[in-house]
Amino acid sequence: MSKRVLITGGSRGIGQQIAKLMEAKGYEVVVPKREELNLESLESIDKYFASERKIDILINNAGINFISPLPDIATEQWSQMLTVNLTAPMKLVQKVIPHMQKTKWGRIVNISSIFSNLTRQGRASYSASKSGLNGLTRTAAVELGQHGILVNAVCPGYVETQLTHQNNSPADIEKILKTIPVGRMAQPAEIAELVEFLCSERNSYITGQMITADGGFSIQ
């Protein structure tokens, strides 16, 4: 029987490519629209899981990134970013655990970022949320390993998506490209390959890891 995978933020960018690849590989892919599952609202998560979902693989991909220097961060924006990028993924992990424990098999991949370990001006809320997601990943791996559930995070560098273009001007992007050893941004499909591997039966022993895919950006 094919495994059922829930992917958040599957409408575009990295999530859309993960959904496409996993569909092609024969998974049963569930990609809720924001009207069905709005990660800004924890009630929306409870409502979505009011009926049994039987999720074998969870990919916490949806994320937001508002840029703001520290003195200008509005508390509401800080809270919104932490809710979508960190609290909602934690709630979703809680929701999928019972089925995974029952079947003694599960895979969870959290889409973090190189900015969980590094940072840039204006990224305090984003970096805090993604560092927190790494912490969630490690603890979930420790607690769930005994149940056959492997939990990892993927930390992409710069990926060619709407989010990247929203937060970087063409001049910024030109500068950034010069700092990436492979000389280009990642395509979302390249991140999807790594995520799919971590979610598959081919991954049987990797857990609790933050795996970077950044074209070498963070090594120099």
Ligand X SMILES: NC(=O)c1ccc[n+]([C@@H]2O[C@H](COP(=O)([O-])OP(=O)(O)OC[C@H]3O[C@@H](n4cnc5c(N)ncnc54)[C@H](OP(=O)(O)O)[C@@H]3O)[C@@H](O)[C@H]2O)c1
Q: In angstroms, rounded to a whole number, what is the distance separating the alpha carbons of residues 204 and 198?
A: 9
152 binds ligand X (CB under 6 A): no
Is 27 an active-site residue?
A: no
Q: Which of 27, 48, 126, 158 is catalytic?
A: 126
Work out the widest C-alpha separation in the chain, in whole angstroms. 53
Interface of this chain with ligand X, residues 88 to 117, rule: CB under 6 A = 111, 113
Q: Which is nearer to ligand X, 85 or 207 (CB)?
A: 85
**Rule CB under 6 A: is residue 215 a binding residue for ligand X?**
no
38 sits near ligand X (criterion: CB under 6 A): yes
- Does 132 bind ligand X (CB under 6 A)? Our answer is no
Coil, strand or helix at 63: coil
Q: Select from 161, 180, 196, 215 the one that contacts ligand X (CB under 6 A).
A: 161
Q: Return the range that interacts with ligand X (CB under 6 A); candidates 46-54, 55-63, 117-125, 143-151.
A: 55-63
Query: What residues contact residue 45 under an 8 Å CB cut-off, 6+ apart?
Result: 37, 39, 88, 91, 92, 95
What whole-number distance in Å separates Cα of residue 14 and Cα of residue 20? 10
Pick out residues in 4-23 that bind ligand X (CB under 6 A).
Answer: 8-9, 11-15
162 binds ligand X (CB under 6 A): yes
Smallest gap from Cβ 69 to ligand X, in A, equals 19
Tell me the CA distances in angstroms from 202 to 109, 126, 136, 170, one per residue in order.
14, 32, 23, 39
SS3 24: helix
Q: Binding residue for ligand X (CB under 6 A) from 62, 97, 100, 195?
A: 62
CA–CA dist 81, 39 (Å, integer): 10
Residue count of the chain: 220
Is residue 180 within 8 A of residue 219, CB to CB? The reply is no
d(CA 58, CA 101): 13
Residue whose CB is less far from ligand X, 87 or 207: 87
C-beta of 138 vs 147, nearer to ligand X: 138
Q: Is 156 in the site for ligand X (CB under 6 A)?
A: yes
Binding site for ligand X (CB under 6 A): 8-9, 11-15, 34, 38-40, 61-65, 84, 111, 113, 156, 158-159, 161-164
Residues that are catalytic = 126
